[in-house]
Amino acid sequence: MRANTGRYSGYIRPFSYALDLIIINFLASIYLLDSLSEIYYHVFISISWIIIAWNVGFYEVYRFTNAIEILSKSFKQYLFFLIINFSYLGIFLALSAPTQMLKFVTLAIVLISIFKFSLYYLLRRFRVVFGGNFRSVVIVGHGKEVNELAEFFNRNLDYGYKLVKIFDTKSSKKEHLDNCQKFVLENKIDEIYCALSDLTNVEINNFIDFTDNNLKTLKFLPDSKAVLARNAVFDYYGYIPIISLRNIPLDKASNKAIKRLFDIVFSLGIIIFILSWLTPILALLIKLESNGSVFFKQKRNGLNYLEFNCYKFRSMRKNEIADLEQVSKNDPRITNVGQFIRKTSIDELPQFFNVLLGDMSVVGPRPHMVSHTEMYARRVDKFMVRHFIKPGITGLAQTNGYRGEIENDRDIIYRVKYDIFYLEKWSLLLDLKVIFLTVFNAVKGDKKAY
């Protein structure tokens, strides 16, 4: 049997379960009333904690799990554990100790999360400094995807993947495949990554048989044209396996409701506390400098490619090409007031009315003018995928340097990549992160804000 050098040591997860249960039971005995400290309540919270953890994947934290996912799991665990405990109070004690219960659950999840993150970052540091808790890997294939994965392994040592060798199948393919399997056995390799585009069905099945029979982990690397997308999901119709190309969290009614509730509350806050007094001031300044309306209205494509009127504070003089030409640096159409409100992104604030109306979301793929959407749909692969969810006032692409003017193909290609990543990995915590970075960038100043 091979040594378990891979994912977190087999002792860590049971230890985490045990420590977490000790924490919640200890805090329950301190914070809650004597009537709640009886043995059957401790059994109840212990079983509830474990059942909730199984369902939200609270302990499913691996070397490739990021901090946002851990925060999301912790929040879900906290929310459901809080509901379960308040339900217990309501049934058995008629809500006689709500304050103590809130303190108990909140402190428990805070302490457990601190331990969880400490362990997470300790292991990442341990891998870099001591080279421990690693998985040795080889890559089979050639091309851009293989090079990107190799670069990722070499640059992110804290993930704990040690790239031992690349078997380039561009030439002498059969010889390299045979040598790969021998090399894996002789050097105790843990994982094999195969580029699907370089292998036939027979070769794929051969690798599957080899790894199954030798207790090795096999993973596939799809290229941009592969049918099996990185977020492919398996479902079963009866006993028939069906592959969906991607999983979109916002297709779930519960996630959709959470995001919509957040959008309504957040947009109302901006409208009431900021736009209520800022709009008259800006209206006066805009009118004093140039003729025209205070607000600029433009057709954009939103959810399911449907058109809607997107609102902004007017930042340009009246011109006939506003719906055709994107704003460029030092654009003569921009007014003096317009330069300021565009630089600080204040011109986008009226879109919170779009959010309230349901045309947009606070966070999502930025909508393009209709003429540009049609052009990019023809030129950029997977561009239309971004219309599976509502467009946003800000987005993941914008906080990663791809806001404003599209200067070259790279800009729009990477914007689409970030948008697809967002719709496949959406969480409320990710939205909060994007909002924070948007405000931070606005205060700091963005070179592409013009």
Q: What is the pLDDT of residues 256-291, one digit of tens each?
A: 888 999 999 999 999 999 999 999 999 999 999 888
157 falls in which pLDDT band (50, 70, 90)?
A: confident
Q: Of residues 101 and 272, which shows the higher confidence score?
A: 272
Residue 332: pLDDT over 90: no
Tokens of 36: 């709640």
Mean pLDDT over all residues of the chain? 83
- According to the 3-state scheme, what is the secondary structure of the chain? CCCCCCCCCCCHHHHHHHHHHHHHHHHHHHHCCHHHCCHHHHHHHHHHHHHHHHHHCCCCCCCCCCHHHHHHHHHHHHHHHHHHHHHHHHHHHCCCCHHHHHHHHHHHHHHHHHHHHHHHHHHHHHHHHHCCCCEEEEEECCCHHHHHHHHHHHHCHHHCEEEEEEECCCCCHHHHHHHHHHHHHHCCCCEEEEEHHHCCHHHHHHHHHHHHHCCCEEEEECCCCCCCCCCCEEEEECCEEEEECCCCHHHCHHHHHHHHHHHHHHHHHHHHHHHHHHHHHHHHHHHHHCCCCCEEEEEEECHHHCEEEEEEECCECCCCCCCCCCCCCCCCCECHHHHHHHHCCHHHCCHHHHHHHCCCEEECCCCCEHHHHHHHHHHCCCHHHHHHCCCEEECCCHHHCCCCCCCCHHHHHHHHHHHHHHHHHCCHHHHHHHHHHHHHHHHHCCCCCC
Q: Of residues 175 and 446, which shows the higher confidence score?
A: 175
Residue 4's pLDDT is 41
Q: What is the pTM of this model?
A: 0.62
Residue 328's pLDDT is 67
430 falls in which pLDDT band (50, 70, 90)?
A: very high
Residue 348's pLDDT is 94
253 falls in which pLDDT band (50, 70, 90)?
A: confident
Distance of alpha carbon 230 from alpha carbon 220, whole angstroms: 9
Residue 123's pLDDT is 78
Query: Which of the listed ranges 79-93, 309-323, 416-430 does the model predict with the highest average pLDDT?
Result: 416-430
Q: What is the pLDDT of residues 368-398, one digit of tens each?
A: 888 888 888 888 888 888 899 999 999 999 9
Q: What is the pLDDT of residues 192-230, one digit of tens each?
A: 888 888 888 898 888 888 887 777 888 887 765 444 455
Q: Start-end ranges of CATH 3.40.50.2300 in the chain?
A: 135-228
Residue 33's pLDDT is 56
Q: Of residues 11 and 252, which shows the higher confidence score?
A: 252
135-228 — its CATH code? 3.40.50.2300
437 falls in which pLDDT band (50, 70, 90)?
A: very high
Residue 227's pLDDT is 46
Are 20 and 77 a contacting pair, CB within 8 Å? Answer: no
Q: Of residues 406 and 448, which shows the higher confidence score?
A: 406
Q: Of residues 95 and 274, which shows the higher confidence score?
A: 274
Residue 5's pLDDT is 41
Q: Of residues 404 and 26, which shows the higher confidence score?
A: 26
Q: What is the pLDDT of residues 282-331, one digit of tens each?
A: 999 999 988 889 999 999 999 988 999 999 999 888 877 766 677 767 77
Query: Which of the listed ranges 59-68, 92-101, 282-291 does the model predict with the highest average pLDDT?
Result: 282-291
Residue 36's pLDDT is 58
